[in-house]
């Protein structure tokens, strides 16, 4: 039989075949979305997406995000076919231990995967962050004739992403910000795991996104290549609004008995159905076999190399015309802080110690931003509608809403959206994002915080109003268990400083840290300055250190944040009774636990078993430092509405309670 002429449907069928074969081999996965979106992907990746498989980190590449990350084999098939370093053997290892092809796309595993997706809705949020970073970076660095930052962010998403509330938060803000280079393709297949979504998802998606300020195209036939191409051209032409292209598709397209049904959403098709699908698609090839002519048609390496070489020429001319801008942009894209930042930060910390102010640590944080902000043009700050309380605005802030080249985002009441957008900003490069809310409302954003930790991104979460010390707003706003949750999150550094010096050190460490996110937790109430030696100031960076010592240590008091002053007052009383008291300030317990064993033993010698921890947060966390034989003065219930002083007395977070706890120890 003569070979059929190659066409776009054949090229899309390569995706379908790889998806169903890999899921079947793993006996686990989601073949439906890759098969349903194959035609959209073929048009986007072969005709529009600008990338270089031989240099996945090319700075001016278009970004592609698969928000419906359960369809990961779609992305893996695209990366393999277009020439990235992702072999057919890697595809055969889909969902296997230590493979480059895990069940959901994971940042850092396969080249070309821009972000970790899976928790639905966060992918589109990351895409908003990438588009925000592109627009802001372009405004800061592009000059007439030199559009060195000029690329699109494309995102695939499904019904689940649109049902998640985060999609409302980020789509609303994207429209307000006019992110015209953000183009999203909605896989409108009408199916989720439980079946046909018309029973639980009847939104008017067109009107919804139009009300956000988006351009909406469609619904179009998501299997019509000409319609997809025309929609993409129309989307690119609107530089003022983000675009949603609504694509009517058939989930599992090509499967005679399972297409259009939930059966193919999250389970292998089965050998018999795959055989029927091969026949229906006119795909006579063995599992994981791709004909050479199809590989050649998909190969994006030569085109990608040409695109990057062309941009390199533009960059070379830009660097000659604007050498300082080029050097600054190169530094920022590399994620490097200015060479003199650490020294400047140390000078500020010394100044804080000399001033010895008694102020709230949230105010100390703002003062530090005023000192560090002029040194770090890469800072892109923000707050979820609480800037006046979080104190995240510093003197050099300019909102991106009013200034395209600004450095501050007014996120509105969108804690989850803010946190996930910051992940996208960090992944894009060129910025160090920070965003703020009350510590209690970290709960809204919890999964995005976890994703930052999972992806090891330099994202800084500023949380204020850190305890019952916020007072009259009551238990709905008073965090109790949140600190323990943050401190036990892998790869997240959490800091709760005791005064201005620890606050400045915490900011310095968050900014210097390039391999993960940081939570900075600050007080509403004023905190007294703690007297330290130069060595003690240096040891703050180790997360825990000896703040006060005795010639012979009988008891160790451990504390963090506002309660360090409580521990100090208790130490005065105990010392008056003749006890040798060591006070350990532990602004970052997780950082302390990462220190070497010798240092940990030096601070908390195992021979001293009398230990009491005090903090106005959940008590149980601190037993990892006191041991079960020690005591913890902390919270075991939720708070109440009253002035802070009354609450500390009511819940027994006092020096007297600490002294009593020491006396009760055997």
Kind plus residue range of the DSSP H or E element containing 340: none
Asked if residues 108 and 76 have their Cβ atoms less than 8 Å apart, the reply is no
pLDDT of residue 544 exceeding 70: yes
Angle at 344 between CA 338 and CA 345, to 5 degrees: 100
30 is in an annotated binding site: yes
Residue with tokens 């990462």: 594
Give percent above pLDDT 90 in the chain.
Answer: 99
Count of beta carbons in the 10 Å neighbourhood of residue 48: 17
Classify residue 199 by its DSSP letter.
G
398 is in an annotated binding site: no
pLDDT on residue 666: 73
Tokens of 327: 């050097």
494 is in an annotated binding site: no
Whole-angstrom CA distances from 440 to 477, 486, 519 are: 6, 12, 13
Residue with tokens 């003022």: 240
Count of beta carbons in the 10 Å neighbourhood of residue 304: 23
pLDDT on residue 1: 35
C-alpha span between 116 and 72 (Å, rounded): 10
Q: What's the pLDDT tens digit per position in 189-248?
A: 999 999 999 999 999 999 999 999 999 999 999 999 999 999 999 999 999 999 999 999
Whole-angstrom CA distances from 406 to 147, 172, 267, 394, 402 are: 18, 20, 47, 13, 8
* pTM exceeding 0.95: yes
609 is in an annotated binding site: no
pLDDT of residue 2 exceeding 50: no
- What average pLDDT does this structure show over 172-192? 98
- What average pLDDT does this structure show over 655-662? 98
Query: CA 531 from chain center: how many Å?
Result: 36
Residue with tokens 């989930």: 251
Count of beta carbons in the 10 Å neighbourhood of residue 525: 18
64 is in an annotated binding site: no
Residue with tokens 């990438």: 130
Whole-angstrom CA distances from 312 to 146, 316, 319 are: 12, 6, 10
Asked if residues 379 and 432 have their Cβ atoms less than 8 Å apart, the reply is yes
Q: What is the mean pLDDT of the chain?
A: 97
Distance between terminal CA atoms of the chain? 90
Asked if residues 80 and 88 have their Cβ atoms less than 8 Å apart, the reply is yes
Virtual torsion, Cα 413, 415, 417, 421, nearest 10 deg: 120
Could you tell me which CATH class the domain 6-305 is placed in? Answer: alpha beta
Residue with tokens 């620890």: 502
C-alpha span between 663 and 542 (Å, rounded): 30
Q: What's the pLDDT tens digit per position in 21-33?
A: 999 999 999 999 9
Q: What's the pLDDT tens digit per position in 76-92?
A: 999 999 999 999 999 99
pLDDT on residue 440: 98
What is the per-residue burial (b if ≥16 Cβ within 10 Å, else e) of 407-445? bbbbbbebbbbbbbbbbbbbbbbbbbbbbbbbbbbbbbb
**Catalytic site positions:** 415
C-alpha span between 304 and 299 (Å, rounded): 9
189 is in an annotated binding site: yes
Residue with tokens 């905190």: 527
pLDDT of residue 5 exceeding 70: no
465 is in an annotated binding site: yes
473 is in an annotated binding site: yes
User: Of 3.40.630.30, 3.40.920.10, 3.10.450.50, 3.40.50.920, which CATH number belongs to 541-664?
Assistant: 3.40.50.920
Q: What's the pLDDT tens digit per position in 353-381?
A: 999 999 999 999 999 999 999 999 999 99
Query: In sequence order, what E strands does 136-179 have?
Result: 153-158
477 is in an annotated binding site: yes
Q: What's the pLDDT tens digit per position in 300-333?
A: 999 999 999 999 999 999 999 999 999 999 999 9
Instruction: Return all residues near 24 (Cβ < 8 A) that are at least 6 apart.
Output: 31, 268, 269, 270, 271, 274, 287
Q: Can you tell me whether residue 321 is helix, strand or coil?
A: helix
C-alpha span between 153 and 317 (Å, rounded): 25
pLDDT of residue 61 exceeding 70: yes
Q: Which residues in the chain are classed under CATH 3.40.50.970?
A: 6-305, 340-527
Task: Find the helix packing angle between 8-26 and 271-281, rounded to 10°.
Answer: 170
Virtual torsion, Cα 521, 522, 525, 526, nearest 10 deg: 130
403 is in an annotated binding site: no
* Among the listed residues 42, 486, 21, the one whose alpha carbon sits nearest the alpha carbon of residue 300: 42
70 is in an annotated binding site: yes
Residue 344 class from Cβ within 10 Å (0-12 exposed, 13-18 middle, 19+ buried)? middle
pLDDT of residue 3 exceeding 60: no
* Among the listed residues 389, 465, 440, 474, the one whose alpha carbon sits nearest the alpha carbon of residue 647: 474
Q: What are phi and psi of 307, to 5 degrees?
A: -60, -45
Confidence of residue 6 (pLDDT cuts 50, 70, 90): confident
Q: What's the pLDDT tens digit per position in 382-411?
A: 999 999 999 999 999 999 999 999 999 999
Asked if residues 466 and 562 have their Cβ atoms less than 8 Å apart, the reply is yes
User: Of 3.30.160.160, 3.40.50.970, 3.30.1380.20, 3.30.450.40, which CATH number belongs to 340-527?
Assistant: 3.40.50.970
- What average pLDDT does this structure show over 56-62? 98
Q: Which residues in the chain are classed under CATH 3.40.50.920?
A: 541-664
- What average pLDDT does this structure show over 484-506? 98
Asked if residues 106 and 144 have their Cβ atoms less than 8 Å apart, the reply is no
Asked if residues 635 and 651 have their Cβ atoms less than 8 Å apart, the reply is yes
Confidence of residue 4 (pLDDT cuts 50, 70, 90): low
265 is in an annotated binding site: yes
Asked if residues 423 and 129 have their Cβ atoms less than 8 Å apart, the reply is yes
529 is in an annotated binding site: no
pLDDT of residue 272 exceeding 60: yes
């Amino acid at each position: 039989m003569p070979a059929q002429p190659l066409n776009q449907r054949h090229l899309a069928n390569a995706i379908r075949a790889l998806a169903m074969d890999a899921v079947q081999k793993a006996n686990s996965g989601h073949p439906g979305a890759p098969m349903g979106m194959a035609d959209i992907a073929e048009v986007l990746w072969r005709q529009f997406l600008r990338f270089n498989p031989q240099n996945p980190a090319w700075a001016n590449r278009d970004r592609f995000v698969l928000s419906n990350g359960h369809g990961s084999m779609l992305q893996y098939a695209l990366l393999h076919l277009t020439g990235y370093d992702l072999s057919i053997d890697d595809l055969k290892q889909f969902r296997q231990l230590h493979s480059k092809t895990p069940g959901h796309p994971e940042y850092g595993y396969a080249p070309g995967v821009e972000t970790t997706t899976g928790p639905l809705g966060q992918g589109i949020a990351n895409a908003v962050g990438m588009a925000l970073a592109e627009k802001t970076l372009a405004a800061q660095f592009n000059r007439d004739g030199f559009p060195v930052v000029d690329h699109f962010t494309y995102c695939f998403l499904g019904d689940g992403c649109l049902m998640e509330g985060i999609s409302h938060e980020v789509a609303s803000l994207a429209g307000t910000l006019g992110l015209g280079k953000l183009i999203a393709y909605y896989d409108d297949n009408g199916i989720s795991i439980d079946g046909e979504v018309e029973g639980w998802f009847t939104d008017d998606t067109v009107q919804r996104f139009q009300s956000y300020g988006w351009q909406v195209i469609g619904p179009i036939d998501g299997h019509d290549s000409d319609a997809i191409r025309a929609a993409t051209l129309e989307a690119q032409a609107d530089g003022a609004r983000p675009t949603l292209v609504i694509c009517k598709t058939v989930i599992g397209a090509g499967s005679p008995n399972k297409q259009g049904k939930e059966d193919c959403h999250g389970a292998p098709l089965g050998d018999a159905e795959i055989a029927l699908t091969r026949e229906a698609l006119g795909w006579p090839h063995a599992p994981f076999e791709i004909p050479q002519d199809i590989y050649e048609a998909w190969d994006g390496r030569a085109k990608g190399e040409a695109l990057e070489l062309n941009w390199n020429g533009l960059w070379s001319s830009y660097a000659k015309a604007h050498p300082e801008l080029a050097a600054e942009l190169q530094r920022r894209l590399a994620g490097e802080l200015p060479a003199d930042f650490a020294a400047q930060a140390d000078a500020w910390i010394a100044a804080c110690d000399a001033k010895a102010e008694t102020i709230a640590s949230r105010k100390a944080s703002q003062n530090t931003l005023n000192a560090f902000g002029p040194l770090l043009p890469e800072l892109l700050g923000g707050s979820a509608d609480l800037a006046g309380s979080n104190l995240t605005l510093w003197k050099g802030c300019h909102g991106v809403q009013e200034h395209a080249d600004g450095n501050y985002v007014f996120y509105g009441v969108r804690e989850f959206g803010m946190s996930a957008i910051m992940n996208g900003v960090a992944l894009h490069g060129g910025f160090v994002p920070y965003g703020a809310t009350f510590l209690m409302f970290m709960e809204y954003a919890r999964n995005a915080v976890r994703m930052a930790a999972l992806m090891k991104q330099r994202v800084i979460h500023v949380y204020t109003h850190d305890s019952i010390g916020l007072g009259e707003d009551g238990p709905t706003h008073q965090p109790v268990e949140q600190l323990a949750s943050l401190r036990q999150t892998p790869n997240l550094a959490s800091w709760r400083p005791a005064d201005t010096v620890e606050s400045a050190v915490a900011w310095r460490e968050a900014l210097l840290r390039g391999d993960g996110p940081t939570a900075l937790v600050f007080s509403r109430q004023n905190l007294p300055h703690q007297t330290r030696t130069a060595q003690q100031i240096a040891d703050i960076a180790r997360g825990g250190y000896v703040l006060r010592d005795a010639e012979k240590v009988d008891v160790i008091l451990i504390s963090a944040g506002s309660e360090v002053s409580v521990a100090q007052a208790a130490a005065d009383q105990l010392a008056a009774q003749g006890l040798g008291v060591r006070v350990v300030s532990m602004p970052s317990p997780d950082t302390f636990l990462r220190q070497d064993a010798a240092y940990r033993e030096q601070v908390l010698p195992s021979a001293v078993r009398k230990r009491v921890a005090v903090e106005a947060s959940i008590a149980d966390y601190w037993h990892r430092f006191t041991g079960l034989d020690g005591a913890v003065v902390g919270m075991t219930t939720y708070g109440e509405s009253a002035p802070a002083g009354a609450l500390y007395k009511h819940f027994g977070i006092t020096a007297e309670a600490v002294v009593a706890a020491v006396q009760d120890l055997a």
